[in-house]
């Protein structure tokens, strides 16, 4: 395991990655642009709270308590953060959830109106598509990755929201 600290037999604690990220925070949510991977991640309130606390000293139980979420939600958030490459290193096997466990947690969280959500989209640099700019109203599946005319450093991108594919021009930073 790389860049993970251990707090006992088989237990490890996650560490938030902040290098090469552009982070915009609101009171409840966080928007993260990964300059290495050119991806944008939207963290909901639960995931943002857990991510802010991932300091390499707190267990998942500590994260849950301090973020004021159930332990299952904190563990799901940690798994989603790892998938989004927002944690340093790899998760220990003791922290990884199976897809069946995830579905159960998501089903319970959905019924309770809470949960850990991270929506990620790929955002190629606008400069790479500079010669192919489109009208922002024309952002669709055929125009993914093309720059959006009349906007500053934005590209057409897509993401899944509530089972639907949504297309939009999103601002990116190449710096």
Same domain membership, residue 93 and residue 48:
yes
CA nearest to 106, candidates 67, 80, 132, 134: 80
Domain range enclosing 129: 124-171
C-alpha distances out from residue 47 to 1, 20, 56, 115, 133, Å: 23, 19, 16, 8, 34
Give the model confidence (pLDDT) of 100-141 as tens digits. Answer: 554 565 555 553 445 566 777 766 554 444 456 778 788 888
Same domain membership, residue 138 and residue 112:
no
What is this structure's pTM?
A: 0.60
pLDDT of residue 79: 87
CA distance 156 to 102: 30
CA distance 89 to 16: 10
User: What is the number of structural domains in the chain?
Assistant: 2
Same domain membership, residue 156 and residue 85:
no
Record the tokens describing residue 76, joined without a space.
């799901």
Name the CA radius of gyration of the chain, rounded. 18
DSSP-assigned states of every residue in 132-174: G-B-GGG-SGGGTTPBBTTSSSEEEEEEEETTEEEEEEEE---
Same domain membership, residue 42 and residue 128:
no
């Amino acid at each position: 395991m790389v860049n993970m600290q251990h707090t006992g037999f088989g237990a490890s604690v996650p560490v938030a990655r902040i290098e090469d990220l552009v982070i915009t925070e609101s009171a409840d949510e966080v928007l993260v642009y990964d300059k290495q991977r050119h991806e944008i991640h939207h963290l909901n309130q639960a995931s943002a709270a857990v991510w802010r606390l991932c300091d390499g000293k707190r267990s998942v139980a500590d994260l849950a308590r301090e973020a004021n979420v159930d332990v299952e939600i904190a563990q799901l958030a940690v798994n989603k953060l790892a998938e989004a490459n927002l944690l340093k290193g790899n998760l220990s096997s003791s922290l990884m959830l199976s897809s069946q466990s995830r579905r159960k947690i998501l089903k319970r969280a959905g019924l309770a109106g809470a949960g850990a959500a991270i929506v990620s989209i790929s955002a190629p640099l606008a400069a790479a598509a500079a010669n192919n700019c489109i009208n922002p109203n024309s952002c669709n599946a055929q125009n993914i990755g093309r720059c959006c005319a009349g906007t500053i450093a934005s590209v057409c991108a897509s993401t899944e929201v509530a089972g639907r594919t949504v297309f939009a021009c999103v601002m990116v930073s190449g710096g």
